[in-house]
Amino acid sequence: MFLKVQLHWNVIIPPDNLDAKGLMLQRSIIVRLLEEFANKKATKDLGYFTALTTLEKIGEGKVRQNSGDVLFPVDFTCITFKLFRGEIIQGEVDKILKHGVIVKCGPVESCYLSHQKMSGYQYVPGENPVFMSDKLAKIDKGVSLRVMVLGTKWMEAERKFMALVSIDGDFLGPV
| Binding site residues, other proteins, CB under 8 A | 85, 95, 97-100, 102, 110, 112, 114, 116-117, 123, 125, 127, 150-151, 153, 155, 162, 164
In the complex, the smallest distance separating the C-beta of residue 26 from other proteins, rounded to whole angstroms, is: 42
In the complex, the smallest distance separating the C-beta of residue 99 from other proteins, rounded to whole angstroms, is: 6
| Strand extents, DSSP E, 14-87 | 42-43, 47-58, 62-63, 70-81
Nearer to other proteins among residue 90 and residue 116 (C-beta)? 116
In the complex, the smallest distance separating the C-beta of residue 136 from other proteins, rounded to whole angstroms, is: 18
In the complex, the smallest distance separating the C-beta of residue 88 from other proteins, rounded to whole angstroms, is: 15
Nearer to other proteins among residue 75 and residue 168 (C-beta)? 168
Nearer to other proteins among residue 116 and residue 144 (C-beta)? 116
Nearer to other proteins among residue 53 and residue 116 (C-beta)? 116
Closest C-alpha to 159, from 40, 51, 32: 40
| Strand extents, DSSP E, the chain | 2-13, 42-43, 47-58, 62-63, 70-81, 88-97, 100-105, 108-114, 121-124, 130-133, 138-139, 144-155, 160-166, 173-174
Count of Cβ atoms closer than 10 Å to residue 145 Cβ: 23
